[in-house]
Amino acid sequence: MENRAVGVIAIIVKNRAESALQVNEALAPYGDMVIGRMGLPYHERGLNIITLIVDASTDRIGALTGKLGMIADVTVKSTLAKI
Q: Is residue 1 over pLDDT 60?
A: no
Which domain CATH number covers 48?
Answer: 3.30.70.1150
Say what the pLDDT of residue 2 is.
72
Confidence grade of residue 50 (pLDDT, cut at 50, 70, 90): very high
| Average pLDDT of the segment spanning 21-27 | 97
| Average pLDDT of the segment spanning 13-28 | 94
Q: Is residue 14 classed as helix, strand or coil in its secondary structure?
A: coil
Q: What backbone torsions phi and psi does residue 67 show, to the nearest 5 degrees? A: -65, -45
Query: Residue 12: which domain range?
Result: 4-82
Say what the pLDDT of residue 21 is.
95
Instruction: Say what the pTM is.
Output: 0.92
